[in-house]
Chains A and B, each alone.
Chain A
Amino acid sequence: TQLLEQSPQFLSIQEGENLTVYCNSSSVFSSLQWYRQEPGEGPVLLVTVVTGGEVKKLKRLTFQFGDARKDSSLHITAAQPGDTGLYLCAGAGGTYKYIFGTGTRLKVLA
């Protein structure tokens, strides 16, 4: 069974601080996506990483796919209250599905 563990589960930080969220597995994934989900809404895709070692940047967010394609990280620089939400990683668990991680709930305090 493919599992994706995210850490930390919960994170509460002050505006302006930096943070990193981790997504780890013992399985290899052909690609990995990061989503952000607001309460009562569906996940919204932030980025897809495909190549081992790949780094992608989206404004203040930096995503990295591990060299072995078993893990990924999301780094947020100078967090803002608008970054508050549930961050989910999801790995391609085969041709026809994504396996979602356990989620990291981030709260950024003004």
Chain B
Amino acid sequence: EPEVTQTPSHQVTQMGQEVILRCVPISNHLYFYWYRQILGQKVEFLVSFYNNEISEKSEIFDDQFSVERPDGSNFTLKIRSTKLEDSAMYFCASSVIIGPGSGNTIYFGEGSWLTVV
């Protein structure tokens, strides 16, 4: 069964360093998402991406964050200068064509656990 894959599974970084989290969405999917989950808290929407541009972003997704689809398969989340509060599990997700408004299924990766020290 096709799945969303994420790398790395776990990264420890020093505060102020740049981090890039990578995702390979399911191959025929066109909508891509990043969510995060701080330990013990709920899953929070960060950004959605379609047709090589951001479709929607949350207030969490400030200027320190950026997303990119550098080639036909990868979808990346970059955090420019990490802060302690960026420590969380970051989930990539993808969906087929239409966004979730129509009940379309989105599929989540297993997450990248980021620890900022």
Quick check: A100 and B56 within 8 Å, CB to CB? no
Report yes or no: A45 in contact with B107, Cβ–Cβ below 8 A: yes
Q: Are A42 and B105 in contact (CB under 8 A)?
A: no
Stretch at the interface among A11-19, A70-78, A88-96: A88-96
Assembled-state Cα–Cα distance A101/B99 (Å): 19
Q: Which of A43, A49, A92, A93 contacts B91 (CB 8 A)?
A: A43
List chain A residues, Cβ under 8 A from B55.
Answer: 95-96
Classify chain B's interface size: 20 to 34
Please give, as numbers and ranges, the residues of chain A lying within 8 Å of B107 by CB-CB distance. 45
Pair A43/B100 contact, Cβ less than 8 Å = no
- CA–CA, A92 to B105, complex, Å? 11
A side interface size, CB within 8 A: 27
Distance of A1 Cα from B109 Cα, bound (Å): 26
Tell me the smallest distance from the CB of A23 to a CB of chain B, in Å.
12
**B89 surroundings in chain A (CB, below 8 A):** 40
Knowing A30-B101, A41-B111, A43-B108, the reply to whether A97 touches B42 (Cβ < 8 A) is no
A84 CB to nearest B CB, Å: 17
Known interface pairs A43-B91, A100-B42, A103-B42; A92-B111 also in contact (CB < 8 Å): no
B106 touches A98 (CB 8 A): yes
Question: Chain A interface mostly helix, strand, loop or mixed?
Answer: loop
Name the residue among B105, B106, B107 with the largest chain A CB count within 10 angstroms: B106
Chain B 83-115 per-residue mask, 1 if CB under 8 angstroms from chain A, else 0: 000000101010000011111011111110100
Contact pattern, B 68-89, Cβ under 8 Å of A = 1, otherwise 0: 0000000000000000000001
Interchain CB contact (< 8 A) of A93 among B45, B50, B106 = B45
What is the interface of chain B, defined by CB distance below 8 A to chain A? 4, 31, 33, 35, 42-45, 48, 50, 55-56, 58, 89, 91, 93, 99-103, 105-111, 113
Binding site for B on A (CB under 8 A): 30-31, 33, 35, 40-45, 48-50, 88, 90, 92-103
